[in-house]
């Protein structure tokens, strides 16, 4: 089984949904985890719970769209643990609206979190990993990069931008030992998904059931589904996986258009 034992890992957006699932799995797998988000109460509670269980987890309050916050998170990992083996750039933001209803505030909010955030993570994590001669940077993209989701034009565009970013980073920095991989979740049962159901005529549970029936595996994804995949991608066993986007969507992309 792949393992992150004794590896130092930074997770952004690490206190809710997919990020929380990753933080918990990595810490329980033996990694030394720095988990970063703007959810102070949730972050402190998560780090305390994992530490009480005997695992290593530090919470860093920070906004991925702010350069100083990202640098501080990377510096924290290196100063406390001496290195940085893996980063999961996972923080994300979704706003539902057609382009004709778009406000510039919403545009910049999504671009700053979904695209600028991973760029800043890469800016500060890559030099550390290059000095080590080894490291892995995983980014959470989405099937939204491949599908024209209604009322999600900017969200889709930011996730497609991450795919291009991953490929460019691979050509620039992998010769010095750094790998880059994207994970592309489908419909995952998270607070973000629940929030996207607001305003619909059906209750959330009915929407979820309808969606689950359309997915070939007949269920929604769970944060743990993504966490297990990211754990493997960060492990030494995945050393030849580079510049790739791993779809984690239960077969959704295989469906015909009718």
Active-site positions read 155
109-116: Cβ within 8 A, 24+ apart: 110/154, 110/155, 110/158, 111/154, 111/158, 112/65, 113/64, 113/65, 114/155, 114/158, 114/159, 114/161, 114/162, 115/158, 115/161, 115/162, 115/165, 116/64, 116/65
| Count of CB atoms situated within 10 Å of the CB of 231 | 24
| Whole-number Å distance between alpha carbons of 132 and 135 | 8
8-state DSSP, 212: H
Residue linked to tokens 């931008």: 161
How far apart (Å, rounded) are the C-alpha atoms in residues 131 and 226?
A: 29
Q: Check: CB of residue 70 under 8 Å from CB of residue 64.
A: yes
Q: How far apart are alpha carbons 175 and 242 in whole angstroms?
A: 11
């Amino acid at each position: 089984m792949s393992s992150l034992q004794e590896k130092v890992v930074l997770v952004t957006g690490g206190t809710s949904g997919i990020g929380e699932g990753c933080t918990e799995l990595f810490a329980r797998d033996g990694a030394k985890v720095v988990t970063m988000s703007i959810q102070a109460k949730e972050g402190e509670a998560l780090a305390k719970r994992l530490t009480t269980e005997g695992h290593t987890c530090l919470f860093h309050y920070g906004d991925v769209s702010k350069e100083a916050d990202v640098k501080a998170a990377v510096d924290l990992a290196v100063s406390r643990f001496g290195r940085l083996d893996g980063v999961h750039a996972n923080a994300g933001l979704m706003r539902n609206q057609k382009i004709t209803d778009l406000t510039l505030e919403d545009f910049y909010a999504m671009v700053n979190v979904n695209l600028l955030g991973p760029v800043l993570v890469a800016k500060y994590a890559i030099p550390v990993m290059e000095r080590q001669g080894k490291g892995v940077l995983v980014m959470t993209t989405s099937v939204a990069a491949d599908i024209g989701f209604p009322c999600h034009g900017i969200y889709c565009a930011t996730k497609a931008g991450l795919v291009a970013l991953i490929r460019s980073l691979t050509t620039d920095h992998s010769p010095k030992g750094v790998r880059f991989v994207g994970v592309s979740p489908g419909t995952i049962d998270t607070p973000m998904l629940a929030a996207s159901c607001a305003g619909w005529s059906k209750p959330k549970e009915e929407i979820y059931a309808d969606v689950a029936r359309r997915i070939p595996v007949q269920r929604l994804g769970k944060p743990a589904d993504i966490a297990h995949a990211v754990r493997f991608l960060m492990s030494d066993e995945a050393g030849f996986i580079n510049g790739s986007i791993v779809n984690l969507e239960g077969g959704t992309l295989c469906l015909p258009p009718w």
